[in-house]
A = this chain, B = another copy of it.
Amino acid sequence: MNWNIEEEGYDKKNIEFFGSKFCIGNGYYGYRGSLEEYTKEQLTACTLSEIYDDKGNGWRELVNVQNPLYTVIKYKNTPLTVLESQIKSHKQSLNIKNGVHTRCTEFITSDNKIITVESQKIASIDNKNLLVMKYCITANEDMDIEITTKIDEDIWDINGPHFSKSEKYYNQDILTVKSITIEKGNAVAVSTRIKCSDDRCSVATCEDNLSRKILVKVQKGIPFYFDKFAVICKDTDCRNVCNDSIRICQDAYEQGFDNLIKNNNEKWAKRWDKFDVNIEGDDLAALSIRYSIYLLLISAPFHTDKVAIPARGLSGQVYKGAMFWDTEIYMLQLFAYSYPDVAKNLVMYRINNLQGALKKAKEYGYDGAFYPWESQETGEEGCTHYNLVDIFTGRKMRTYFRDKQIHISADVVYGIKTYMDITGDKDILLEGGAEVILECARFFYSYSYYKKSKNRYELLDVTCADEYHERVNNNAYTNYMVKITLECAVYTLTYLEKNYPDEYLHIIDKLNYEDDIRHIREMNDLLYLPIPNEDGIIEQFDGYFKQEDLSIDELYKRIIKPNEYLGSPVGLAVNTQVIKQADVILMLTILRDRFSREIKHDNWEYYEPRTEHGSSLSACVYALLAAEIGKVDWAYKYFMKTGTIDLQGAYKLYLGDLYIGGTHPAANGGTWQVAVLGFGGLHLKGDSVELTPRLPEKWNSLSYKFTVKNNTFSVNIDKRQIIIEADKNNKNVIDFQVYEKQFSCEANEIKKINYEFKGE
């Protein structure tokens, strides 16, 4: 079984991509897969979650701290770095089983000696403040080497700098820098201490109080190493970031590298026990799904419900570190089925930030909660009005991502519903969930218009996933998702009134919701839901079918300048049926029980050739629906596209001069969804579990675990048999439907079901 990502040789053109590919992290911070001698020029970053800053120009982004692991060696006064020195060999690898990033480089000196540098790094998931490195030097002759290791204050920022001031402390051999952010005055501290392998060296602290110089008499063939214990503390969870970081650093120093690694490995093993998905017979697919899960595990907020997962994880500051609907639609199910605590954090993040959504609605003159398109730690809208530059005029273009993506509020409600459905935890309603649901429903009522002549509510002037077509009326995805919101609101009212009458009255009173009950019930009855036309196709929005219908290739032929933006207001796709990404198809994957296989099939066939996949959120959706309707070859093709995105880096790194690379959590979550929900065929229908697996030709077997309402099952699927194994601690009997067969499964039971999948 392959858990290792490796790259041999060195090529500067991969610097940016590998920074993301070899990223480590623990949800508290992300540390890019940079080499120790890299500086900000190579996009080195230690990106903090939760801490955002606006240096004063309206662009808020996650804060990067000083790189505590910067290290470079000198031989005869010449630095040895992959950027400038002669190299005999170079290898970089990441073990995704335990999150260890290693590098090994053999440098050739000017006098033809060989110096080997090896390092290992972990972002501890056992102690979220810890970042630990072992740095090891071996030479093929005796020699003097000078090592400089420091906390690099020269921070890479997209829109920085973000610190108004930094102070340095030297204490018990621990170097500390404490910094204060500009906008909100958040305090963060970085401490480091080193421990050398033996006494062949002398260590001196430099005047800058951040660097140490180690002079080593290396002996031929005998490795010299030092361990660096770095600690990052933020005032989101530390009372005194300085004291805490020094204390934790000292503690780590005392535990030592091997113990820290051991503890970290144990934690990773436990985590994989919950999350692992295994595929036999297809190594790349197996690695892709595991790597996708790894990337989510290093970004997810295991420790807090104050943030969700940013659009580029913690691989940098791209997209402002903002959290989009990606979390609810693409990532939440993985956590809800595998680790409900994190799912709850993700849901609570939205609940905690209801104020931001209320504020945004008010800003636009609406009632209720209008959740932001780009959400940050405050829950306020982080998106600006002008988000693109016209390539022909150099002018900023007004976009309506901020103003018109009302579906986010519905996605948030859908997230709460998903969490409740899978975990069975309806208490979330009493923890603020009910208020979110009711305020979102209220928002939609206030946003909607009633068409008297048609006796229906409509949702006008909206933007959805297909951002090539902004400001459309009655977008199918939006309307159906709003329907879910209204149903949830009606359900919530009924549920609370029946089960928690006091809380019900309290909430109605607190929200002043008396009139709204009538409103949302009426809107729930009368909301316009676009139905399939005579060919079975659901129109993406009013008038979509009237747009020019041409192939994507024909559209591309009209391009007159590379990197033209194809979308609104005047891009080439705007007046055509070419769409950016899954929209109706996404709706069909979410509302799978409302539409027949035939409708799904017809819509997939219609929209697939018209979809440009100009977003990493698209391919997995086409894969998921293709798997569901039995188009397994197509599903596999799109699955591999999604699953390998961060392994193979087939994405755009720059938009103009702006770096937009990094990892793609939505695609990572999508990869899991296709594997487990698509090929694995897992689907929750009411209280029973449906399993309708459809394995790709190449796969011998697929196995995964899932937890439904606190009951955990292991599933192993091969081409002929499905084995379901109920965990011994399960409390409930769960009903299953596996193809035509229905049965119940209690703790410790093992069920083996033969099946035959016939394809499309």
Known contacts A367-B453, A392-B392, A398-B574, then 6 further A-B pairs from the complex at CB < 8 Å, ordered by chain A residue: A390-B570, A395-B570, A449-B449, A450-B452, A461-B461, A471-B471
The residue from B367, B390, B398, B450 contacting A575, defined by CB atoms under 8 A apart: B398
Q: How far is the CA of A393 from the CA of B397 in the complex (A)?
A: 16
The number of chain A residues touching the other chain, given as a range, is: 20 to 34
The verdict on A449 contacting B445 (CB below 8 Å), with A393-B392, A397-B570, A398-B574 known, is no
Residues of chain B within 8 A (CB-CB) of A446 are 453
Q: How far is the CA of A392 from the CA of B461 in the complex (A)?
A: 28
B519 contacts A452, C-beta separation under 8 Å: yes
- Protomer copies: 2
> Is A458 interfacial (CB 8 A cutoff)?
yes
> Is A569 interfacial (CB 8 A cutoff)?
yes
B393 contacts A560, C-beta separation under 8 Å: yes
Residues of chain B within 8 A (CB-CB) of A569 are 569-570
**Chain A contact residues, CB within 8 Å of chain B:** 367, 390, 392-393, 395, 397-398, 445-446, 448-453, 458, 460-461, 471, 473, 519, 560, 569-570, 574-575
Residues of chain B within 8 A (CB-CB) of A445 are 452-453
Query: From A542, which residue of chain B is reached at the shortest CB distance?
Result: B365
Q: How far is the CA of A574 from the CA of B574 in the complex (A)?
A: 18
Residues of chain B within 8 A (CB-CB) of A560 are 393
Ordered nearest first, which 4 A-B pairs have the shortest CB separation?
Answer: A449-B449, A392-B392, A569-B569, A450-B450
Residues of chain B within 8 A (CB-CB) of A570 are 390, 395, 397, 569-570
Q: How far is the CA of A452 from the CA of B445 in the complex (A)?
A: 9
Residues of chain B within 8 A (CB-CB) of A448 are 452
B450 contacts A451, C-beta separation under 8 Å: yes
Residues of chain B within 8 A (CB-CB) of A398 are 574-575
User: Would you mind naming 12 contact pairs between A and B with Cβ atoms under 8 Å apart?
Assistant: A392-B393, A395-B570, A397-B570, A398-B575, A445-B452, A448-B452, A450-B450, A450-B452, A452-B519, A460-B460, A460-B461, A471-B471
Residues of chain B within 8 A (CB-CB) of A450 are 449-452
Q: How far is the CA of A390 from the CA of B560 in the complex (A)?
A: 13
The residue from B367, B460, B574 contacting A449, defined by CB atoms under 8 A apart: B460
Query: From A569, which residue of chain B is reached at the shortest CB distance?
Result: B569
A290 smallest CB distance to B (angstroms):
45
Q: How far is the CA of A390 from the CA of B574 in the complex (A)?
A: 14
Q: How far is the CA of A460 from the CA of B448 in the complex (A)?
A: 12
Interface centre among A397, A445, A449 (most CB of B within 10 A): A449
